[in-house]
């Protein structure tokens, strides 16, 4: 059987996506069912970017499934410095059963995956955050049941999180609306691909500069930080550019009365999200964070068991 990588939500068929989400829900309900699923497996967890939720959720997932996680920081490896990314992938494949990597450029991730002979999992790249999107959709299904026909409004930077939400949403028949300032929209190729997916599933994708157009009547309100990791030098500039692109009381008032509030964390209250939104009764942010672990257990089982 050929090895599978998980670099983008678009790597999954609609059927595979549905099966993974069903399995994630089942594992959350009965975690004891997978205590030996990774017995004897070695999983390299490479963090070229610092992490809280991704590191802890993957390390706990691997350990609780009977596997052994090897935590490796970028500054502890020769990857991309004294050794090519491809050579690192080749060498690690001789030692471990899976490579999970949180990195910067997506091309770097693809180069590693092309050389590795074991599955490679994207734990975040500048282009995509597919593990987050799996947990996001698991959370939406928990709250709303069938996602088909629901509207998801994402407010903020058209970044890796936005890309993955567009893929996962349109694959499951949702109407994904992105509100981003001019110059910060999602990549045109992603928008085009998701429009094609939506044409098959009954979903759709809309990109606008107007927050009200995205959030009006929405079933899900979602946002992310204005300045992602690696963009710290642009933080002050982005404060001005993104002003008003927030999930706050005005957005909640325009959304559906039963709308849920989501954020991939870490959050900056008073910037991209208000305190009453993230800490209020419509917030599912903490369930969303927990579901990273359950969704990733299902993914690792699918790739390795």
Catalytic residues: 102, 129, 132, 224, 264, 292
Element at 151 (helix H, strand E): strand 151-155
Are 264 and 128 a contacting pair, CB within 8 Å? no
> Hey, CA dihedral for 55, 120, 170, 142, is it positive or negative?
negative
Question: Alpha-carbon distance 31 to 23, whole Å?
Answer: 11
Query: Which residues, listed in sequence order, are joined to residue 45 by a DSSP beta bridge?
Result: 71, 100
Which of 222, 189, 192, 220 has the alpha carbon at shortest distance from 205?
Answer: 192
Which residues have CB under 8 Å from 242's CB, separation 6+?
Answer: 156, 157, 181, 184, 226, 271, 272
Which residues have CB under 8 Å from 305's CB, separation 6+?
Answer: 37, 38
Query: Which residues, listed in sequence order, are joined to residue 247 by a DSSP beta bridge?
Result: 273
Angle CA(295)–CA(256)–CA(155) in degrees, nearest 5? 60
Question: Alpha-carbon distance 236 to 228, whole Å?
Answer: 12
Are 168 and 9 a contacting pair, CB within 8 Å? yes
First-to-last alpha carbon distance for the chain, in angstroms, is 12
Question: Alpha-carbon distance 147 to 68, whole Å?
Answer: 35
Distance of CA 278 to the CA centre of its chain: 18
Question: Alpha-carbon distance 102 to 49, whole Å?
Answer: 6
Neighbours of 158 (CB within 10 A): 22
């Amino acid at each position: 059987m050929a090895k599978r990588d998980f670099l983008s939500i678009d790597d999954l068929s609609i059927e595979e996506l549905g099966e993974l989400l069903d399995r994630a829900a089942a594992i959350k309900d009965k975690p004891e069912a997978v205590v030996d699923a990774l017995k004897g497996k070695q999983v390299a967890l490479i963090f070229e970017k610092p992490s809280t939720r991704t590191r802890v959720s993957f390390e706990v997932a691997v350990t609780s499934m009977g596997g052994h996680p090897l935590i490796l920081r970028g500054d502890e490896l020769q990857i991309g410095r004294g050794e090519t990314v491809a050579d690192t992938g080749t060498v690690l494949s001789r030692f471990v059963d899976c490579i999970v990597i949180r990195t910067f450029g997506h091309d770097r991730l693809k180069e590693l995956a092309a050389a590795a002979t074991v599955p490679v999992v994207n734990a975040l790249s500048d282009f995509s955050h597919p593990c987050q999107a799996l947990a996001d959709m698991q959370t939406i299904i928990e709250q709303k049941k069938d996602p088909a026909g629901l509207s998801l409004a994402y407010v903020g930077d058209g970044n890796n999180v936005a890309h993955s939400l567009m893929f996962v949403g349109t694959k499951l028949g949702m109407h994904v609306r992105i509100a981003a300032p001019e110059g910060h929209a999602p990549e045109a190729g992603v928008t085009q691909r998701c429009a094609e997916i939506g044409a098959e599933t009954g979903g759709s994708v809309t990109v606008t500069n107007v927050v009200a157009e995205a959030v009006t009547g929405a079933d899900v309100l979602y946002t992310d930080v204005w300045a992602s990791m690696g963009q710290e030098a642009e933080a002050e500039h982005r404060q001005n550019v993104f002003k008003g692109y927030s999930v706050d009381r005005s957005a909640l008032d325009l959304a559906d009365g039963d709308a849920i509030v989501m954020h991939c964390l870490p959050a900056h209250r008073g910037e991209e999200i208000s305190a009453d939104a993230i800490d209020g009764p419509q917030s599912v942010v903490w369930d969303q964070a927990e579901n990273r672990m359950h969704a990733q257990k299902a993914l690792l089982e699918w790739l390795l068991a």
